[in-house]
Amino acid sequence: EAGVAQSPRYKIIEKRQSVAFWCNPISGHATLYWYQQILGQGPKLLIQFQNNGVVDDSQLPKDRFSAERLKGVDSTLKIQPAKLEDSAVYLCASSPTTETQYFGPGTRLLVL
């Protein structure tokens, strides 16, 4: 089966600019996650969707980060405006229920 797809793979922007990431989960997976992985750290959950509803967004910095999962399939994560500390790899994962999570390749963001 096709895995989780993410785009772009790399993005370089200047601080205060906006950026958006896209994720296409494995077909049929109801749950979708966005993680932020800063260099030298483990992935940190930003937001979890169950179909098109938000289950957990307690660690999402809502003043600048937003995410949506229209129609319960693809998802986008947006940062507006970006800060230097947002430089990280953004991982998308999906799972059929809440069991094993399947990760995408990630988007590496560098904010200058």
Binding-residue pattern over the window 10 to 29 for other proteins, x denoting contact by CB under 8 A: --------------------
The answer to whether the CB of 15 falls within 8 A of the CB of 81 is yes
- The smaller minimum CB distance to other proteins, of residues 92 and 111, is found at 92
Residue 47's DSSP bridge partners are 34
Q: How far is the CB of 43 from other proteins (least distance, A)?
A: 5
Phi and psi torsions of 109, nearest 5°: -110, 130
Considering only residues 51 through 90, tell me which ones interact with other proteins, judged by CB under 8 A. Answer: 55-56
Interface residue list for other proteins (CB under 8 A): 3-4, 31, 33, 40-45, 48, 55-56, 91, 98, 100-106
